[in-house]
Amino acid sequence: MNELELKYGCNPNQKPSRIYMKDGSDLPITVLNGKPGYINFMDALNSWQLVRDLKKATGLPAAASFKHVSPAGAAVGLPLSDVEKKIYFVDENAELSPIACAYIRARGADRLCSYGDWAALSDVCDAATAEYLKYEVSDGVIAPGYTDEALEILKTKKKGSYNVVQIDEAYVCAPDEHRDIFGITFEQGHNDCVIDESCLENLVTDAKELPAQAKIDLVIALITLKYTQSNSVCYVKDGQTIGVGAGQQSRIHCTRLAGSKADNWLLRQHPKVLALDFVDGIRRPDRDNAIDVYLSEDECDDVLRDGAWQPIFKTRPERLTLAEKKAWIASQRGVSVASDAFFPFGDNVERARKSGVDYIAQPGGSIRDDHVIATCNKYGIAMAFTGQRLFHH
């Protein structure tokens, strides 16, 4: 089959809509369940490329959680710690495969943004991954295959309408790509740049050491940015993104947005957050929203003052003060950050440092590179110039 008719395009008024192969060949995808739409397929094809590249670069199973053609999170399949199991709502006794760990980490990076996501898996979806997906609000999943048990589990989601797409792992796209904007056709070469640890060899700072985990984290950050709407900045720690800032017009706003998300991820591991005592039977999205409100200075005061906590928590939570938040975040280290284009000023480094960043990768090439390098040296941050811009639109 070389064509698939869709209900409509980005919006209901945009008809007709379809995906098809211009050369008449068969589509490299098969819909196993549901009826994916235009945006679903945009997320599916972008997210698949991301996880495919991540696995190729790291040798580890990879997963992504996509929303509106940008990743809310991406990760490789490293084991979950006890704290991570708690903040990602995983049964402490659950037996998790590497690909299940990868998706749980990707989904856990920014759970609010991942609400209603499109999931992508580099490996065959197994029952452990499907069982976790079953309880998350999600629009669909793409993977190179599904076990029989996993497919049966996924078919029970959304009253049987959950979108399940299988992609041909061997598919290679054409070297040139085209798109129409306002009736005018654009053509460019497909972005087939390879991102791996060799991109990190040009260390321009006084600090010249990149630990093995930092190399993996910086590669994850760079590959994530390759498929994130620009401008974009990505924070990574221990094999998973913890903050993605996408589609901002200024670089510093990307760094701040991604940094605030990274801070939230770090704060979710604070003892006071881990001690929140939720009422029985609360839904995961309600729990996510409650934690987000609890971590928000103004909204938290309103909830605690007005007694709005009562339908959510068994007991009134103890407030997490601004001083406690700052102290907790300041105690964090070993975070990596990457940017899809050069940092034009040292203020990006200053903001990144506040979220525990010790390692940076960026293309370089700014007329103020010397100022950015000096700012890194001030904090002992190791920074690599990749020489490779990663704009994605």
Residues annotated as catalytic (active site), given as ranges: 67-68, 231, 393
User: Which bin fits 132, alpha (ψ -120 to 50), beta or left (φ > 0)?
Assistant: alpha
Name the amino acid, one letter, at 278. F
Answer yes or no: are the C-beta atoms of 68 and 116 closer than 8 Å. no
CA dihedral 164, 166, 172, 177 (to 10 degrees): -20
DSSP 270: S
Phi, psi of 162 (to 5 degrees): -60, 135
Distance CA 105, CA 71 (A): 13
Cα distances from 200 to residues 78, 203, 204, 210, 222, in angstroms, run 22, 7, 10, 9, 10
Beta bridge partners of 313: 278
Distance CA 179, CA 69 (A): 15
Name the amino acid, one letter, at 346. G
C-alpha closest to that of 27 among 49, 59, 4: 4
134 burial level (CB within 10 Å; 0-12, 13-18, 19+): middle
Tell the residue number behind the tokens 């710690």, with chain if given.
81
C-alpha closest to that of 227 among 74, 40, 57: 74
Distance CA 54, CA 146 (A): 20
Tell the residue number behind the tokens 């700072």, with chain if given.
205
Q: Which pair of structure tokens corresponds to residue 38?
A: 């235009």
C-alpha closest to that of 172 among 23, 59, 61, 36: 23
